[in-house]
Amino acid sequence: MDSWTERSFSKNITAGVDFMDNVAKQISEYKVEVQQAMLLAILKGVFSMATTGNTVPAKAAKEFSQVRCGW
């Protein structure tokens, strides 16, 4: 008798479609979307930093952009 594992059982009851692979693909796509959204939010924050003026944040932003980014 063929022993069933979770993977073979899922293929047998879904006519050969492996739903676990589908779930893994959906999770992977979701993680990529979340990581992309985080990166875009970080970049939006970096590019919105004011580098003019005499305030402490402006001076820090100017220093960051010159030293770290080479702008």
Give the pLDDT confidence of 34-56 residue by residue, as tens digits.
Answer: 999 999 998 888 778 777 788 88
- Judge whether residue 1 has pLDDT over 70: no
Q: What is the pTM assigned to this prediction?
A: 0.52
| pLDDT tens digit sequence for 9-38 | 777 777 777 777 888 999 999 999 999 999
The CA-atom distances, in angstroms, between 13 and each of 19, 24, 33 are 10, 19, 31
Q: How far apart are CA 23 and CA 14, in angstroms?
A: 14
Give the total residue count for the chain.
71
Distances from the Cα of 57 to the Cαs of 38, 47, 53, 70, in angstroms?
Answer: 22, 14, 9, 18
Residue with tokens 């010159």: 66
